[in-house]
Structure 1
Amino acid sequence: MKFFKRFILALLVLAVLGVAAVGALYLYVKPELPSVATLRDVELQTPMQVFTQDGELISQFGEKRRIPVDLEDVPQSMVDAFLATEDSRFYQHIGVDPIGVMRAVWVLVTTGEIKEGASTITMQLARNFFLSFDRAWMRKIKETFIALHIEQLLDKDEILELYLNKITFGHRAFGVGAAAQVYYGKSLNELTLAQIATIAGLPKAPSNLNPISNPDASKARRRVVLLRMLDEKKITREQFDQAADAPVTARRHGAEVTVNAPYLAEMVRQQMIDRYGEEEAYNGGYNVYTTVKSDVQLAARQAVWDNLHAYDERHGYRGPVSVLWSEEDGRAALSSNEITRYLEKLKSVGAVIPAVVVEVEGQTATVMAKDVGRVTLPWESMHWAREYLNEERQGPPPESAADIMAAGHVIWLRRVAATDENNAVWRLAQLPEPSSAIASLRPSDGAVAAVVGGYSFALSQYNRALQAERQVGSNIKPLIYSAAFEQDLTLATLVNDAPINQWNPGSGIAWRPKNSPDVYEGPIRLRKALAKSKNVVSVRLIREVGVKQTADHIAKFGLDRSEVPENESISLGSLSMTPMQVARAYATFANGGFLVDPYVIERIEDRNGEVIFNAEPKLACVDCDNPAPQIISEQNAFLVAQAMNSAVWGGGSWAHNTGWNGTSWRIQRSKPIVNEVGRSIAGKTGTTNDVRDTWFSGFTTGLVTTTWVGFDDVSRQLGRTTMNPLLDSKQQAISGGEAGAKTALPGWILFMEKALPRYESGNMMIPPGVVNVRIDLATGKLSHLTDHTTRFEYFIDGTEPTEYADTQKDNGDIFKEDDRELF
């Protein structure tokens, strides 16, 4: 009895000492313990996501991939897997599991090694939020005390939810939601039991047990998780066997991007960093909604792709990417499995995918394409492939597939719509050498409708829509004509379209600006001169208005005045602008004279879905609360738009052999555009010297778009082509010298056919202060006649002609000899 009493007393003393030691230890580390109250308002680092206006994901930015989920949205089988593996007594202990601690101590005593950490889910949460992962006794002690605090502050479900959203799973995935997306491209409720067990096994060692980098170790760990679930009676033996034997299906997935628009995403990323700083922008959980509609943005990308491939095809085939084997060098042909493995290493780019030619016979070829398998290419998919000689010359048309390719060639394919049935076919392709860009705006407020900065963001992150300052060619002319209308010139004003030969004593050479084509018509009305893009008329207009005054006027359209040159060469487009700057300038003609600011972010939501920013753009209006600056009058804008409308529809009378086309006449052939907006469309081509840059800019009242095509290497010319006799006019619609009307306009049409139905456009309404009178086409004077020699013309009130043409006599040449050089 005495011994028993002493034993009990010793136990009590030890207990008191133990409690005292724990208390002393707590007091010792207390100053270093963080406040767990922050867990009440914890904001998990979540990436920034960028969406289209209609909610399609464009991109995701952030170092940590995290998709926060509520506990109620986590499948019960996943909860069971984590509890069985990490902390089966989670709902019974107080943050520290005595049984687990005793088990860890026993292992330490019997083996002399720390093999089990006895960490509960609460302790792991404490470590993840507040501590390091160092193996140290003091860290473990702090972890224990923090866990006890957490259990006092939060209930079990709150702790488990935080844990499932916080822990790391490798490949920058944090939380179970991100893990499901990164490894399987699925949401949690779509995962199989085998996939759930794989994810649940990762926290132990995310790098070593990763199913992508170490599938065998991951599969073994998955079996351990499944055995624990079986022991806890959370799954049946049949479920265990099926899941344990399942193949490893994990592979790295990106965010679930539904609209691939990397140039647009990069614009948003940069603006968010400028607004919030990099750390906050990437990890603040912002959802950014842009101004673009998903189908319109995809149409812009497709238009750039199709237009560049059309250019590339008419200029000829540059040959295979590489040659894996050939009869000449004696290299043996690869097997199907070897070709498949080879193709897996290659990446698709833009609209094209890699393929290997395996057989060529007659006018067909059999190829193996990446992720597609065997494909038979018919003659119609490759007969465009004349040999490329240079930008100016193409070789003879091929007669057979062997003239184009051979077995062992690595080539590119692209998928195109079939011409004779409602399916798609594969077509021989190549990576286009030129670049292109599209910038499209809503003229009423500057909202970006679409932006494409090049063929492939993977090849070049240079956003040509925003960054490429290229000479604009004749795209500058509407701005020059606007300056002329400010000086009371009119659409009916006659200017002499005749060659200019000006001697420059300083340089010792003559300046001879020429029309393109080199054709001159003598006295010509300004409406017709702009529609037909007469270069010498633009020079004469600058001389009439004044070089400095013209430069001042051009700068109003959003340009830095110091970058607008004061010389006559500006009339021919020597000024450099970006496609977005051109689109912004042209929006002024579409909206009544207002200079709107392009913007791409419509609203920003925080991690809780609260709107923290709404765009408040300046509007093209006079009486609204937030008007944009009106840089030209509504009447001036209307007159320029009218002349650009004639660039599309031409004029004169074809029945009387006086009909003529403007440079943008190809728009007339687009039934989708004509059916959508009728004749209420305006446009202007642009081509620089030696065809290094080609442009087309055009608009309706609801949408303005600029396209540019050229080489990144400004020394290269776009060249010219001859017709391929194997193709009809639909298969090769363009031949001869490249130009804005042939190179850039087709891409504009492809885009606008899809985009215009998504933006409401009205008729070009006649503004107040504009009168409409009948004029004589030859003289620009008033006319009493109503035949093909006259038309109604618009004038700013007070600038209309006051004299009538002499209709009783042959008008002949109305100019005196001294008046030939009008301006």
Structure 2
Amino acid sequence: MARSHAKGGEVSPMRLWFMRALKAGIALALLGLLVLGIFVAIARGEIDSFEDLKASPNGQMIRVRAADGTVIQSIGPSFGRWLNINDLPKDMKDAMVAVEDRRFFYHPGIDPYGMARSFWVRIERGQWAQGGSTITQQLARNVYLNNNREWGRKIREIILALAMETKFSKEQILELYLNKVYFGGGAYGVDAASRKFFDHGAETLDLAESAIIAGLVKAPSHYSPTADAQAAIGRAGVVIEVMQDAGMITAEQAASVKPAKVKLAGDKAQDSVRYFTDWALPQLESLIDETEKPIDVWTTLDLGMQRAGTNAIKNGVPAGAQGALVTLDRDGAVRAMVGGTDYAKSNYNRAVTALRQPGSSWKLFVYLTAIEGGYRPEDKVEDKPVTIGGWTPKNSGGNFAGEITLRTAFSYSKNTVAAQLGEELGTSSISNMARRFGITTPISTGPAMVLGSSETRVIEMTRAFASVAARGRSVTPYAISKVTTIDGDVIYKHKPPKQVQLVEDYVAGAMTDLMQSAVAGGTGGAAQIGRPVAGKTGTTSSNKDGWFLGFSSGLTTGVWMGRDDARPVGNLQGGHAPARAWGNYMRIAVANRPVEHFATDVSFPERLEEDTAAEGEEEILVDENGMPIEGEPLPTVHSPDDAIEPEQVDDEFIDRALGRNRGQVDPGSVEDEPTPQ
């Protein structure tokens, strides 16, 4: 008898196997979800709070600006304010969501469709070629992980993303992402990117700018506007198309957007500005305490003058030589600083670091001492052979002019006259005069010091000439005018130091008169620029160093040329290449400044009679017969108005004039004594 089929709906083996597999799969899925939930819960507890994530810095950003506000250097990994989600333009938010995670507002932190597509491409091509990460996953990776494409890292990324979605709202996640993601060029966060590429905050981004920034996330280095403007513009066009496809903008809006017409901030800096910023920025340590928040450093640098100075040095130095230039405004503001012919090849700043012999430009201090000691420009001196302590100075050309005026001796840089003045006045007095005017390096007091045998720096010599231009009042160079936060709050503002009267007005005026003569008809003729100029050349032995320092229309500029190894350079006399470079530069630097005439019409104090009391003896009153009169001693006449006795020039006076503490003198070395021009 045949057997009946299964009664009561017996289950077939195939169906039974399927049901068992389904149950096992559901059980495993539930177990997996349970395990995943546990890991997500653990991760949720380890994730920082929203406020902590907002406060975590990417590192301080310092943006350096020229005097006109142009950004000349950016330092640090970020620069931007934290912008709340409601402060960001809708176009910026839409552009980012459209191009990076179109289903952002609908998934739980991971996008199964995107992940499946990414895995499929991986199988097809044999490598990861298409990202499937959501905005939340990217945020988790940026904050807590790295960019290594490993399975373990990917799993941790998914867990963190899910945990973030349970802890933060979508708006909070998008706010964190837009303020922390890397956009290239050192910019982290949308506000940093906006300021980097467009020089304005992200609150005012328009659709085209938003598209450019949103397009950077895929490949910040490749699409950065400062690296490849065309690539950035092309990528922005893709973002616009994606936004239109997602229904975020209309076809008309998409057609009206012209990324190519967006004005990029670009990199406006000149390589040579780094000489200036390398010198200026270390000064921040003593000016401000802020070390975390982004700051703007406003400097004194004039980009037009810097460009002109760079060109003058590059085009003016003899072959194989280097050059340096410093310009000070009348208040000490550094308007230009060039430390070499090419910063990219050598960042050694010869304007503020190099120690070089100043040659005859050092005669500034010799003649200042002489004028203060009673000499006048028209006084007679004798250009003749002299030997002092076994040292015999020589004039350029080897000739002697005999009796000449002090003016002529200075104008033609007569070494024998300077040597005689040094012997008469005392080299220690000349050394003290140099100290008064800002020279901090060691100074020899041997006879040859009058010809510039002691090394010094370009900026210090320029400062000394600037103080003469300021009618004998101290001038202190400075580079930073103010420091502000990103919100514009001023945290430092330069306060001019109190000026000290280094020499009387008449001394500075007479010195200016001599220097004007040196340019008008003496060794500095190549520095004429069609308006009043006062200056002095300097040349050391065998043409190892060439200098020209001078001032006109409120600007004082020092130019030095020479080789770093101090080998001789042909045609390097101060009156040749340095003076020409100075003139070429200053014509541009003062072009927009009014012509100024020097205050050289000065009144000298009455000379002391030769029979006055000897040094160290007390002066007394005498009658018409020369007999002493009993009474108080007669005050010594020291100033034109016979009223004010000048302050004693001691170490304390010099330190106060230079604004430095005792003992802060930079070391230096002394080369062989030169026979400068």
Answer yes or no: same fold by TM over 0.5.
Answer: yes
Is 1:484 equivalent to 2:318 in the alignment? no
How much has 1:643 moved relative to structure 2?
1.6
Structure-1 separation of matches of 2:71 and 2:401:
54
Superposition pairs of residues 164-563 of structure 1, within 5 angstroms: 164-169=178-183, 172-175=186-189, 200=214, 203=217, 229=243, 231-234=245-248, 255-257=267-269, 261-272=273-284, 284-308=293-317, 311=318, 432-443=319-330, 445-501=331-387, 504=390, 511-560=391-440, 563=442
Partner residue of 1:664 out of 510, 524, 531: 524
Is 1:743 equivalent to 2:623 in the alignment? no
Contact 2:484 / 2:490 at 8 angstroms: preserved in 1?
A: yes
Give identity over the alignment, percent. Answer: 31
SS of the equivalent of 1:592 reads: coil
Look up the equivalent residue of 1:710 and give its one-letter code. G
Look up the equivalent residue of 1:711 and give its one-letter code. R
Structure-2 separation of matches of 1:529 and 1:107:
85
Q: In the TM superposition, what whole-angstrom CA distance separates every residue of 1:742-798 from its partner, at most 9, and x where no partner exists?
A: 22111111122122245567443369863699xxxxxxxxxxxxxxxxxxxxx9749
Structure-2 separation of matches of 1:469 and 1:756:
28
Contact 2:422 / 2:450 at 8 angstroms: preserved in 1?
A: yes
Q: In the TM superposition, what whole-angstrom CA distance separates every residue of 1:340-378 from its partner, at most 9, and x where no partner exists?
A: xxxxxxxxxxxxxxxxxxxxxxxxxxxxxxxxxxxxxxx
Shift of the 221–481 alpha-carbon distance from structure 1 to 2, 3 Å rule, reads closer
TM-score of the two chains, using structure 2 as the length reference: 0.70
Which stretch has the larger CA shift, 473-482 or 591-600? 591-600
Shift of the 710–68 alpha-carbon distance from structure 1 to 2, 3 Å rule, reads farther
How much has 1:46 moved relative to structure 2?
6.2
Q: In the TM superposition, what whole-angstrom CA distance separates every residue of 1:536-570 from its partner, at most 9, and x where no partner exists?
A: 01000110012223223322222236x10011111
Shift of the 87–536 alpha-carbon distance from structure 1 to 2, 3 Å rule, reads same
**2:545 — aligned with what?**
693
Look up the equivalent residue of 1:686 and give its one-letter code. G
TM-score of the two chains, using structure 1 as the length reference: 0.59
Return 5+ residue gaps in structure 1 as ranges: 1-12, 312-431, 505-510, 619-626, 650-660, 720-737, 774-794, 800-823
Q: In the TM superposition, what whole-angstrom CA distance separates every residue of 1:677-717 from its partner, at most 9, and x where no partner exists?
A: xx4x3111111111121111112462211111222231122
Look up the equivalent residue of 1:617 and give its one-letter code. P
How much has 1:124 moved relative to structure 2?
3.6
Partner residue of 1:150 out of 168, 173, 178: 168
Superposition pairs of residues 698-777 of structure 1, within 5 angstroms: 698-700=550-552, 702-719=554-571, 738-759=572-593, 762-765=596-599, 770=604
**2:174 — aligned with what?**
160
How much has 1:38 moved relative to structure 2?
2.7
Shift of the 796–537 alpha-carbon distance from structure 1 to 2, 3 Å rule, reads farther
Structure-2 separation of matches of 1:229 and 1:74:
17
**2:61 — aligned with what?**
47
Shift of the 515–102 alpha-carbon distance from structure 1 to 2, 3 Å rule, reads closer
How much has 1:487 moved relative to structure 2?
2.6
Structure-1 separation of matches of 2:197 and 2:640:
69
Return the structure number with greater strand share.
1
How much has 1:448 moved relative to structure 2?
0.7
Q: In the TM superposition, what whole-angstrom CA distance separates every residue of 1:604-636 from its partner, at most 9, and x where no partner exists?
A: 112222221111131xxxxxxxx1333323332
Contact 1:45 / 1:66 at 8 angstroms: preserved in 2?
A: no
Contact 2:545 / 2:562 at 8 angstroms: preserved in 1?
A: yes
SS of the equivalent of 1:271 reads: helix
**1:780 — aligned with what?**
none
**1:83 — aligned with what?**
97
Contact 1:209 / 1:221 at 8 angstroms: preserved in 2?
A: yes
Structure-2 separation of matches of 1:166 and 1:104:
23
Superposition pairs of residues 3-18 of structure 1, within 5 angstroms: none
**2:470 — aligned with what?**
591
Which stretch has the larger CA shift, 457-466 or 550-559? 550-559
Q: In the TM superposition, what whole-angstrom CA distance separates every residue of 1:183-210 from its partner, at most 9, and x where no partner exists?
A: 99999999997x9778646646768999
**1:56 — aligned with what?**
70
Look up the equivalent residue of 2:153 and give its one-letter code. R
Look up the equivalent residue of 1:687 and give its one-letter code. T
Look up the equivalent residue of 2:508 and give its one-letter code. A
Return 5+ residue gaps in structure 2 as ranges: 1-26, 608-637, 643-677
Look up the equivalent residue of 1:744 and give its one-letter code. P
**2:143 — aligned with what?**
129
Q: In the TM superposition, what whole-angstrom CA distance separates every residue of 1:224-245 from its partner, at most 9, and x where no partner exists?
A: 97785465234679999999xx
Alpha carbon RMSD of aligned pairs, Å? 5.0
SS of the equivalent of 1:637 reads: helix
How much has 1:301 moved relative to structure 2?
1.9
Contact 1:590 / 1:701 at 8 angstroms: preserved in 2?
A: no
Contact 2:339 / 2:350 at 8 angstroms: preserved in 1?
A: yes
**2:14 — aligned with what?**
none
Contact 1:499 / 1:520 at 8 angstroms: preserved in 2?
A: yes
Is 1:36 equivalent to 2:50 in the alignment? yes
Partner residue of 1:614 out of 490, 493, 497: 493
Shift of the 183–767 alpha-carbon distance from structure 1 to 2, 3 Å rule, reads closer
Look up the equivalent residue of 1:534 and give its one-letter code. K
Which stretch has the larger CA shift, 229-238 or 45-54? 229-238
Look up the equivalent residue of 1:665 and give its one-letter code. G
Shift of the 70–640 alpha-carbon distance from structure 1 to 2, 3 Å rule, reads farther
Shift of the 767–91 alpha-carbon distance from structure 1 to 2, 3 Å rule, reads farther
Look up the equivalent residue of 1:714 and give its one-letter code. A
Structure-2 separation of matches of 1:295 and 1:798:
44
Q: In the TM superposition, what whole-angstrom CA distance separates every residue of 1:417-472 from its partner, at most 9, and x where no partner exists?
A: xxxxxxxxxxxxxxx422221111123x3111211112211221111111221111
SS of the equivalent of 2:501 reads: coil
Look up the equivalent residue of 2:465 and give its one-letter code. Y
Structure-2 separation of matches of 1:238 and 1:70:
30
Equivalent pairs counted in the alignment come to 576
Structure-2 separation of matches of 1:642 and 1:748:
19
Contact 1:46 / 1:67 at 8 angstroms: preserved in 2?
A: no
